[in-house]
Structure 1
Amino acid sequence: MSTTIRASGILFDLDGTLISSTPVCEAVWHQWAKQYPVNLEEVFKTSHGIRTRDLLRYWLKITDPIALEAATEKFESDVLLESQRLAREGEGGITLLPGVEKMLLSLSSPADDNARWAIVTSATNAYATNAINTLDLPKTSHLITADEVTRGKPHPEPYIMGAAALGLHPTECVVFEDAPTGIKAGVSSGAKVIAVCTSHPRTALEGLGAHMIVDDLSS
């Protein structure tokens, strides 16, 4: 039985929903673990969807604001550099996930002038903009990043801000998310949430309040 979800606006998570970056991020964590004593197994289990600065504060105990900002910039820069290295060597790097290009092109079509959509990410503006440009994603004028919010996912603030950028209330929007943290943020905001199984098995996304669970954006 098919389910129809109606919404006036669409809010997309970035990493894990539109683009695949987990292998690259994990490679960078392995590099950083040479300098910082950290349990990578625990990091990988709990970090997806959370702001880089929050992860570095929690796992690496970097609490000085200036040092934390510098470390965040360095970590995300390392992710982009590692992605470029892997791409040069034919080993992937950051890539588009299935169905993404087709969906975003349809939303950006001149024939659909009323389409309202935004990207709401836990990454910084510098990282998100670079990744979007590198992959030549269709552009949205609404990009909500870690730099714009005071409280990151799973707090609903990012999705509340994303809806506001579209001139909408969260209840008028549908959120596409791959991470439990982001799903919780979307549900808490009041938006309808479609969970995508691009980073986690379906069983890990069940029971979080998502209105629908799909394999990916080609579903």
Structure 2
Amino acid sequence: MQNKNGTTIKAVFWDIDGTLIDSEELHYQVIADWCEDYGYALKPADNDALLGKSMAEKWYILKERYDFQSDELRFRQECADRYCKAVHKDLQREEPTEIFKAISRTPVRQACVSNGDMVVVQANLKVLGLSEMVVFSISGDDVKKGKPDPEPYLAAAARLGVEPSECLVVEDSVVGVAAGIAAGMTVVAWPEKNTPRENYSATDYFVSSAAEFPTDLLPLG
């Protein structure tokens, strides 16, 4: 129940999009459809620049590329509304979700830390059936700087009253892993299968299945 530094893990912080739910393609499609409705043609290559970013950052990137004549608030609200109507349980990543549920039956507290807007965070947790298992969530609305800055994870630790060294982070993206490492936490990278491990050289653990998850860090029995 201790990490590599001999510290007991007291909290687990989960990323959501891409980690607990395979939603990245849906997020892209929602934004692409929004752009089309406003007369812009989003390119698939744009998705690489948007992955892991907050909605505020996505707006800035796309406005720079396409000179949108709309405004950020409308973009965020309308995309969030479309996403919340389209998200469904079949998008869940089953093994990470099962680990989440197993940890919820232990004294270890869990929170979700996302670059997404809070309304999207809540919609994801609802369709996954995890809302009641989370102490709280940190969204892109709650911080000045999103991942890869450590602020979201440090805010979560402060809110729980635990030291960063007592926290375990579970992430799927390089951006999220960087945030957890910068926050001084133990990080598990759990991307989709067949993701090159070399992209995650900074992480403490790299797993591709529940069998590889470092359960020895937690009181899972």
Smaller-chain TM-score bracket = 0.7 to 0.9
Q: Give 1 or 2: higher helix fraction.
A: 2
How far 1:14 moved relative to its partner?
A: 0.6
Corresponding residue pairs, total: 204
How far 1:39 moved relative to its partner?
A: 5.1
Q: Does 1:154 align with 2:148?
A: yes
| Matched AA of 1:81 | K
Q: Does 1:60 align with 2:63?
A: yes
**How well do the aligned residues superpose, as a CA RMSD in angstroms?**
2.7
User: What percentage of residue pairs aligned between the two structures are identical?
Assistant: 21
Give structure 1 stretches of 5+ with no counterpart.
none
Q: 95, 98, 101: which one pairs with 1:102?
A: 98
Q: Does 1:10 align with 2:6?
A: no
Distance 1:18-1:73 versus aligned 2 partners, 3 A rule: same
Distance 1:74-1:190 versus aligned 2 partners, 3 A rule: same
How far 1:118 moved relative to its partner?
A: 0.9
Q: 58, 63, 82: which one pairs with 1:78?
A: 82
Give structure 2 stretches of 5+ with no counterpart.
213-221
Contact residue 177 and residue 183 of structure 1 kept, 8 A? yes
Match of 1:142 in 2: 136
d(CA) in 2 for partners of 1:99, 1:218: 9
In the superposition, the TM-score normalised over structure 1's length comes to: 0.81
Match of 2:125 in 1: 132
d(CA) in 2 for partners of 1:63, 1:162: 35
How far 1:48 moved relative to its partner?
A: 1.7
Superimposed CA distance per residue, residues 184-212 of structure 1 (whole angstroms, 9 cap, x where no aligned partner) = 111111111111122871246333x1011
SS of the residue corresponding to residue 140 of structure 2 reads coil
Contact residue 104 and residue 110 of structure 2 kept, 8 A? no
